[in-house]
Chains A and B, each alone.
Chain A
């Protein structure tokens, strides 16, 4: 009995220790970013493009990168969702044999773990072949490739949670698989779909490597799909790589902006998810 109680204590201690460690680590990251970034935060940081000599400490901000990141990620998310939602629905067991869906899951898992620089290189090669230069379009397409595996995989897991009995009750009415996919599966999975989109967005918004060759970088606002476009991760990278403390502080401010951006997107999608999920069957 004493040994069992001891085990229980040890187990609880281990859990408490690891959760403290994890939470502590992330708190440290956030605190560092806020502490180093907040002093450099200003109206100009948010709403102005870099002016001449910005990277040497002159005036301006990263509005080009904020807008660029939003364009890139929203565009990529649209492309990824347009491809990923049907793909994930098609990998349900009603449509795909088990070896096909198992095989696809394996490939997607490998792609998920592939470093995004590989996607960047791949996108770059394709763009050269097609004669496209580093641009918003190139960035969107490459970033959508980065997002796809995580999106399809997590959507697949979400769709698998729909109880068979629920689908059965729609099948029993004489509904087709497509009608059930839209009217039952997608509706029932609204919160999960939101989470999957968020995960994909999160992966995309923080990614620098895939954009380096494909989207390029510019100090101007993105004008058209064929123009190069700035992004926050690359803005952070370029600023933190300078030896000038003032510019390094701006890198932290840019990171803080990125954090807040993710937070805001998160809150919005949670709110929307809750609005859209009032009909869920428990």
Chain B
């Protein structure tokens, strides 16, 4: 049984339905790319998996998301524990208003864990660039470095899954390359869900693809199969670049 199972998930923002009756099992230990035209519900889907949607007004979630067999929307669910388990990387990095070191140490501290700042900065491919200035403000890093710091921060609470929401969209090509390489390494230890609007990125990284269109789950399957011969015509149109 896989880590994450989704049953009949629908999400509404006020009157507007953003996700329609999604049922899906997310394969473990792979990079799963979530693709589709903008506004199709990719980010909403990702944020429904760690209940970040709770932060928005007027949001309604129906259906079930099972993580390790337990429904995360059950009233008894521990949201903090869930979010610790499901690491999240946002589109634009937002370092916490503290030093580089404290950004990575904050998560372990609130969860009462031992922090391994160096380890996590190494895993995110940032250690060599910051080891001499760990106690300077994180805000002075470049955007590309900030995103890798965000990755180190995400890893610091030892999640089981990494949810990444277009994590390279604000980065320069060089940083994109570094972050993508880190993802390839990370999938050995984590399941990675990667929302991307860059088809080429999905081709480069994904083992498995989920395709959304207008809030509907249109097609999902192993990446090779999806890109070679998508079954649905909307997926065909998207892969061939007719819709974007």
Contact = CB atoms under 8 A, between A and B. Distances in A.
Interface of A: 93-94, 98, 163-176, 179, 183-184, 187-188, 278-282
Contacts of A163: 94
B214 to A, nearest CB: 25
A165 B90 contact: yes
B80 A169 contact: no
Given A164-B55, A168-B55, A279-B137, A173 B94 contact: no
A279 B98 contact: yes
Contacts of A170: 96, 106
Given A166-B94, A281-B95, A171 B111 contact: no
B154 interface: yes
Given A168-B52, A281-B139, A174 B110 contact: yes
A170 B88 CA distance: 10
B99 interface: yes
A173 B81 CA distance: 9
A167 B57 CA distance: 15
Nearest to A188: B97
Nearest to A163: B94
A167 B236 CA distance: 39
24 contacts: A98-B57, A165-B92, A168-B52, A168-B94, A169-B93, A169-B94, A169-B150, A170-B96, A171-B52, A171-B55, A172-B50, A173-B84, A173-B107, A173-B110, A173-B156, A173-B157, A175-B110, A179-B110, A184-B97, A187-B96, A280-B97, A280-B139, A281-B97, A281-B138
B139 A172 contact: no
Contacts of B99: 279
Nearest to B80: A174
A19 B80 CA distance: 52
B167 interface: no
B137 A278 contact: yes
Nearest to A189: B97
Interface in B80-130: 80-84, 87-88, 90, 92-99, 106-107, 110-111
Nearest to A172: B88
B155 to A, nearest CB: 11
Interface size class of B (residues with CB under 8 A): 20 to 34
A172 B81 CA distance: 10
Contacts of A281: 94-97, 138-139
Nearest to B78: A174
B80 A176 contact: yes
Given A164-B55, A279-B138, A279-B139, A175 B80 contact: yes
Contacts of A187: 96-98
Contacts of A171: 52, 55, 83
B98 A174 contact: no
A282 B110 contact: no
Contacts of B154: 172-173
Interface of B: 50, 52, 55, 57, 79-84, 87-88, 90, 92-99, 106-107, 110-111, 137-139, 150, 153-154, 156-157
B186 to A, nearest CB: 16
Contacts of A168: 52, 55, 88, 90, 94
Contacts of B111: 174
Contacts of B106: 170, 173, 175, 183
B97 A279 contact: yes
Contact of B52 (A166, A172, A183): A172
Given A173-B153, A280-B137, 13 more contacts: A94-B55, A165-B94, A166-B94, A169-B94, A169-B153, A170-B96, A173-B84, A173-B106, A173-B154, A174-B81, A174-B110, A175-B107, A183-B106
Nearest to B139: A281
Contacts of B52: 168, 171-172
B90 A184 contact: no
Given A183-B96, A279-B139, A281-B139, A169 B90 contact: yes
Contacts of B84: 173-174
A169 B106 CA distance: 12
Contacts of B92: 165
B100 to A, nearest CB: 10
Contacts of A174: 79-84, 107, 110-111, 157
Contacts of B50: 172
Most central of A163, A168, A282 by chain B CB within 10 Å: A168
Contacts of B95: 169, 281
A173 B137 CA distance: 19
Contacts of A280: 97, 137, 139
A158 to B, nearest CB: 14
A158 B107 CA distance: 25
A124 B106 CA distance: 48
